[in-house]
Amino acid sequence: MTPSPRSGSSSGQNQPRGGNPRSGGPRSGAPKPGGKFGGPKGGTTAGAGKFGARAAARSGSGTRKPSQPGARPFKNDQYGRNLGPVKNRPTEQNRRPERTTDDVDIHNADGVRLQKVMAMAGVASRRLCEDMILEGRVQVDGVTVTQLGLRVDPEAVEIAVDGMTIQTDESLIYMVFNKPKGVVSTMDDPEGRPCISDFLKKRQTRERLFHVGRLDTNTEGLLLLTNDGELANRLSHPKYGVQKTYLVQVRGPMAHGVGAQLKDGVDLEDGWAKVDSFRLVDSTPGHVLAEVVLHSGKNRIVRRMFEAVGYPVERLVRVKFGPIALGDQRQGSIRILGRHEVGHLLAEVGM
């Protein structure tokens, strides 16, 4: 479990514009009411031989031993975090259609070599991308490619490595904002309250960015920002069941059975609601910290559920949205997602 947002440094973060929003700038670290708020503690001949083997591999004849079997894509991603292999979710909405026919024509004579497209997208070096193709780890529009020489139009096809779609559109932006308390989850606020645009750089404010989901003014933590409208819609749509993780601080001690009650469900004014998981994380005199995971996107759902079981929320922080975690990102900062993280987000909703 990752602790709640605190002051600290994180690579790829942006400082808030102007250093101080309209009314009271974000704190470098939120206070800790009642105690700690966080989680648990050769020669010419040799060269000619290599060139010959490489040429044979490109032409489809001969064999070539991969230089690095099982090389991880995006392993040198400097902005994000490597989230491991994509785990296919067994939901019908997210299941990627399989195409195994040999007669699907995906070659574009005027296109770019597949390994070059992959390398330009940051997957790995061109040589390692070639190895991935030969190992059968690359799919183009759902068709597995095992020979070099394929040319594609990167703007017209979907390319996946180990089941994870790679993003080839450089115009798309994906960021994580660690929202402080008191900031409104909008790009502009007519009442003059601090909002998301106050923390963006000037060049970023010119983009039409969507914030994925909402956090009420008093709730802190992770907000995804993107200009990818389709991804934003899917991440917000209830049919995809994207899970969100929260840290919840309430008055303690907490009675036995409250977690089971929340998992069984509580009756709210707009219907039945329940959490996917519940666990106690920490406690201090008079306070309890719990972690809850749920996929509902209803307004103020966590606060309303805890109030329904007799424990009004004192502090609430969203620390994870789908596969993306807040980690030690400083409060009020914005971090650009790495390509590996973007791939996991796309896989989460079947893109």
Q: Which residues are catalytic?
A: 216
Cα–Cα distances in angstroms (integers) from residue 181 to residues 22, 217, 282, 316, in the given order? 14, 6, 21, 9
Closest CA to 180 of 333, 3, 50: 333
> Residue 287: helix, strand or coil by DSSP?
strand
CA 77, 80, 84, 85 dihedral sign is negative
Cα–Cα distances in angstroms (integers) from residue 145 to residues 3, 73, 124, 159, 246, in the given order? 42, 16, 17, 10, 41
∠ CA 303-305-310 to the nearest 5 degrees? 95
> Cα–Cα distance between 148 and 69 in angstroms, integer?
16
The answer to whether 334 touches 281, Cβ cutoff 8 Å, is no
Cis peptide before 97 (omega within 30 of 0): no
Strand partners, 131: none
Cα–Cα distances in angstroms (integers) from residue 177 to residues 17, 163, 223, in the given order? 13, 27, 5
